[in-house]
Amino acid sequence: MTKPKHVLGISGGKDSAALAIYLRNKYPQLDIHYYFCDTGKELDETYQLIERLEGYLGKPIERLESKEAKDLQKNPFDYFYQAYRGYLPSNVARWCTKKMKLEPFEAYVGEIPTISYVGIRGDEDREGYISRKANIQSIFPFRRNIWSEEVIYKVLGNTEQSQIIGIYENFLSGKKLDKVIEIIKQPLVFEERNSDQNRRVAQEKLNLLFDQGLPEFNQVAFHYLKDKGYPISLEEDYPLLHDDEILVRDDIFRLLEESEVGVPGYYEKLDYEVDGETGQYARSRSGCYFCFFQQKIEWIWLYEQHPALYTQAMEYENEKEGFTWNQNESLKDLLHPNRMKQIKMDHLNRMDKEKAKGSKYLLDKVIDTEKDCLACFG
C-alpha cells in the first residue's frame, strides 16, 4: 500500500521547532520531512534557529521558495512586492502568506497524500492557517484533539451515529460503552450563522467522548476515516492514536532548552528606558522582519535592535499611495520621539497591569501572537 508522506513545516518560531524535537524523540519511526518556506526577509536569528534544529534532527530542513521568484533569481518578497505594484500585504490582503508560504508548500507536496504536523499547543484555541487541499491532512500532536476541525465535524455528524457506535463496539464495552452510546445519541444542534457557538457545542460533545478514553476515540476516528480518502487511511496503524499527552507553553520551552536547540534569539528580553523607568521588550514572532502583524513595541524593538532592517522596512512604504505597514501611521511617523515615548509608556502600563494580575509570560501576554499566522509564526 502507498504510504502517505509525513511533513512538518518549520516557521522559525518556537512551537514548530519544539514539535520537530518532540516527534523525533517520541516517534523516531515516523519518517518526517521538514521544510521551511523562506520569504527572504527573515531575521538572522530565524536562520540560526533552523541551522541548530537541523543539527539536532540530523536531517535537512528543505528551503522552499516561490517558483516564480526562484526562476528569475529574485528575492521572493521583492518579486511579489513588484508584481503587486508596491501594494503592501495586510491582514485583509494576505498575499504574502499565500504566495510565499502556502503556494510553495502545496507545490512541494503536489498530489501526494500527505500528513502535515501542526504545532498548535494544548493551551491554544485556534485552528491555524492550514492547507485545505484534499490530499493534505493536518494533525495536531500537542493538543488533546489531534484531528482537524473538519474531521471532528464528520465524526460527530448526526448522520454518522450508528457507524460511530459500531466502531466503538470494537474498542469499549460495559458501562463505558453505554455512556459513549448515550453521548453519541445526543444530536448536535447547530445555529445558523453562529460558528463560534456551533464550535462550542461540538467541543462539549467531543470533550465528553474524550473523557471516556482518548486513545479509544482516536481509534474510532482512525477507523471511521478508512474509506473516506484521507491520507491517514493509507496507514495500517498510527502511533499518535495511543498518545494522550498534552503539551503547553512550558513544555515547549523545556523541549527547546533540553535539546539545546534553544529558543530563537529574538525572544531574549532586553531592557529599555522611558521616563526614568525600565521596561523589557523582545520580538515574539518569526516571519518577515517587517510583518504587519507586529505590535508597535516590536517595531520599536526592530528600530533599536536592527536599525538597518527598520530602514529597509521604511523603504517599502509609499505614503502618497497610502501603502504603509501600519494603518494610519508610517514608520517615519512612528520614529517621532514623542510617539516612541508614548508607545513605550503604553507598553509599560500594559506590562504593569499583567503583573498586577500575577500573569505568567508577561511579554507574551502583551505581545500576543497566538491569533496571528501559524504558517509564519508557529
Q: Which of 53, 146, 214, 291 binds ligand SF4 (CB under 6 A)?
A: 291
Three-class secondary structure of residue 271 per DSSP: strand
Is 293 among the residues that bind ligand SF4 (CB under 6 A)? yes
Please report how the helices 214-224 and 161-168 are oriented relative to each other, as an axis angle in degrees rounded to 10: 120
Per-residue binding letters, 11-50, with ligand SF4 (x by CB under 6 A)? ----------------------------x-----------
CA dist., res. 362 & res. 230, Å (int):
41
3-state secondary structure 134-176: CCEEEECCCCCCCCCHHHHHHHCCHHHHHHHHHHHCCCCCHHH
When computed from its CA atoms, the radius of gyration of the chain, rounded to whole angstroms, is: 23
Is 287 among the residues that bind ligand SF4 (CB under 6 A)? yes
Nearer to ligand SF4, 56 or 292 (CB): 292
Is 376 among the residues that bind ligand SF4 (CB under 6 A)? yes
Instruction: Tell the residue number behind the cell numbers 521588550, with chain if given.
Output: 281
**In this structure, what C-alpha cell is assigned to residue 306?**
536592527
Q: How far is the CB of 268 from ligand SF4 (least distance, A)?
A: 20
CA dist., res. 286 & res. 301, Å (int):
14
Number of residues that bind ligand SF4 (CB under 6 A): 13
Q: How far is the CB of 161 from ligand SF4 (least distance, A)?
A: 41
Indicate the DSSP class of residue 322: T
Per-residue binding letters, 321-340, with ligand SF4 (x by CB under 6 A)? --------------------
Q: Which of 32, 53, 96, 146 binds ligand SF4 (CB under 6 A)?
A: 96
The helix, strand and coil proportions of the chain, stated in percent and rounded to the nearest 5, come to 50, 10, 40
Nearer to ligand SF4, 100 or 221 (CB): 100
**In this structure, what C-alpha cell is assigned to residue 294?**
507586529
Is 109 among the residues that bind ligand SF4 (CB under 6 A)? no
Contacts to ligand SF4 by CB under 6 A = 39, 89, 96-97, 100-101, 287-288, 291-293, 373, 376
